[in-house]
Amino acid sequence: MTTSDKFHDECGVVAIYSHPEAETLAYLGLHALQHRGQESAGIVSSDGMSLHMHKAMGLVADIFTEKKLSRIRGTLAIGHTRYSTTGDSALLNAQPIMVQSNKGMIALAHNGNLTNAGEIRARMEAQGSIFQTSSDTEVIVHLIAQSREHTLPEAMADALRRVEGAFSLVMISPDRVFAARDPRGFRPLAMGRIPAQGDRLHDTIVFASETCAFDLIGAVYEREVKPGELVIVGPEGTSSRFYFSRPDSRVFGRPVQESREQLGRQLAIEAPVEADLVVPVPDSGVTAAMGFAAESGIPLRFGLIRNHYVGRTFIEPQQSVRDFGVKLKLNPVRSLLEGKRVVLIDDSIVRGTTSRKIVRMVRSAGAKEVHMRISCPPTISPCYYGVDTPRKKELIAANNTVEQIRQYIGADSLSYLSIEGLKKACRDGEKTSYCTACYTGKYPTNLVDVEEIQPAAVEE
C-alpha cells in the first residue's frame, strides 16, 4: 500500500435486511463506497438458515462477478471494503470475518480503529484464545463469543462496552442484522429504507458508511445511527438500544457527565464533611467526586489508581493475601493518603464487601479518617428492567440501616444522596420521569417476586 501526505477514508461497511437480492444490493453499495478502500472487499449473506461468504483482494467490481454473487444469494447481507489501518495487507485480514461461535454463526465487518485492541488481544491470547488475523475486527468477534450474556444482542452490547476507539460496524446472524457506532460518534454510519413494492411485503432496511451507497440502490435516507447506539433488525422488526452511557454521551437529552457531576454537588450539600481530600473510587465515582469537590471546596485527588490490565481470570497466590482481588484492581497512593482525612466517593454500595475492602485499604495506606459518600440513594430492591442487580436478600441496604452499613464497611461516617436530591440533580419531572424502583421498591409495572412465591400445599 502506498502512502502519501493526505488524509484517507478508512474502510466502508454496508448492510441489507429483507431483500431477495440482498447480496447484489450489498455489492452495489460497496461499489459506491469503493473510495473508502481499494485493498480488499467481502460480502457475507444469509438465506435464513446459514451464512455464505466471498471475499478477495482487489477492487469490488473485479471480485464480485455474477457467478460469484449467485453462489452467495440471500435475503440478508453485510459487506466491507478495506483500507488497511491496522493489520497486514493480506487476504486473511479481509472482512467480513465469519465464525461459528457459542452464540451461533455470525459475521462482522468493522470500520475504524480500536485503541485498546492490542491490550485485549494480549490478554485473550494469554488465556488461550487463538487469533487467525491481525485485524482489530477479530477482537470484537472474540469478545462476543466469550461474553457471559446468553443472547446475541446482549453479547454484542457487552463486547462493545469493552472496546475503545473510533468505529462503526455491521454484523449478521442467520436471521438478523446489527449495526453499531462508537459512543463518541467518530465514524459515520447511516440508516436507510427501500420501500416495499411488487412482491415484497416488507421494507428493506439498509446501513452504510455513507449515504452515496443509498443512491445507487434506491434507498431513502432515514437517520444516522447515533453515537453509542446498537440497532437490531430481525423478524420482529427494528429495535434500538444504547449499549454504553459514557460521560461523553447524552441520555434523555442531557450529557451523562453533567448529571453525574450534579449528583456529586447535591451530595456535598446534603452530606458535608470536614476532610482534607476527596478521592473517587474509580471509575464509577470519578465524575460525582468532581462535583463533590467543586461544591465543597475540598481538593480532589486520585488516591486510588485503577489497573486497567486485569482480565477475568488471574492466578492468586497460594498463601492467602487479604483483599487480594481488590488490591489487584486498585492501588492506593500512600503519599497522597497518609495522615489525611479522606472522603471516598462512589455511586453505590451493593453487597458492601468491596466497599469494606476499599475502606480497609485506604486506612492501611495511612489515612487518618475515611468517610464514605454515595452519589445515589441506598439500593434496596433488584432491578427487573435490564440492570443486573443481586437478589434483595443480597443487597446490604435492603437488610441494614445506614449505621449498620457504616459499621460493616468500617468507615468513620457514611451518607447516601437522598431520593429527592437524586431527582433534583437529574432534573426529574422536567421532560421525563425516571424509574426509581431500585431505591424505593415501588415498580412502575406489576411484578411478582419469585422469592416470595410459596409452594402450593399438598393434600394428603
Residues belonging to the active site: 11
Residue 436 phi, psi (nearest 5): -120, 25
The C-alpha atoms of residue 401 and residue 430 are separated, in whole angstroms, by: 32
Residue 199: cis peptide before it, omega within 30 degrees of 0: no
* 286: enclosing H helix or E strand: helix 286-296
Q: Which residues pair with 280 in a beta bridge?
A: 345
- Closest Cα partner for 24 from 105, 96, 79? 79
Cβ neighbours of 391 (radius 10 Å): 11
235 CB contacts (<8 Å, ≥6 apart)? 175, 176
* Residues 59/31, Cβ–Cβ less than 8 Å: no
Beta strands in 225-332 (DSSP E): 229-234, 237-242, 250-251, 254-255, 277-280, 304-306, 330-332
Per the listing, cell 446472524 goes with 173
Q: Which residues pair with 105 in a beta bridge?
A: 100
What's the grid cell of residue 361?
Answer: 485499604
2 CB contacts (<8 Å, ≥6 apart)? none
